[in-house]
Amino acid sequence: ETGVTQSPTHLIKTRGQQVTLRCSSQSGHNTVSWYQQALGQGPQFIFQYYREEENGRGNFPPRFSGLQFPNYSSELNVNALELDDSALYLCASSLQQEAFFGQGTRLTVV
């Protein structure tokens, strides 16, 4: 149990739709990161938020956006969904160099 919770656990969307995924980070962790994990691959860094500001971004298009709230919870928004966006989306809150991951949201785009 990492103290990081994500919702929903599973989601099915249609191509072209928009989706919002949510993450409640571990208490006291002011940094949250989002990762995309395709089947059989390692997690790929999407972006990171520190004290409500984006603080680093991976190689993902602008239709991937995020928010971090004053209580350090976070959202990942994806617009204009594509079939290749189907993946496990992981949220992680960080303390020093150790990251605590949630169980992920399995997104399927059909």
Q: Which residues bind other proteins (CB under 8 A)?
A: 2, 4, 31-33, 35, 40-45, 48, 50, 55-56, 58, 88, 90-92, 94, 96-104, 106
Q: Residue 15 or 52: which CB sits closer to other proteins?
A: 52
Alpha carbons 21 and 67: distance in angstroms, whole number: 10
Phi and psi angles of residue 6, each rounded to the nearest 5 degrees, phi first: -125, 150
Q: Residue 15 or 107: which CB sits closer to other proteins?
A: 107
Say if residue 43 is preceded by a cis peptide, omega within 30 of 0.
no
The radius of gyration of the chain from alpha carbons, rounded to an integer in Å, stands at 13
CB of 14 to other proteins, least distance (A): 23
CB of 104 to other proteins, least distance (A): 5
For 6, 18, 60, 65, 110, the CA distances from 56, given in Å and listed in that order, are 21, 23, 11, 12, 30
CB of 79 to other proteins, least distance (A): 23
Question: Which two three-digit tokens encode residue 80?
Answer: 């204009």
Q: Residue 25 or 78: which CB sits closer to other proteins?
A: 25
CB of 98 to other proteins, least distance (A): 5
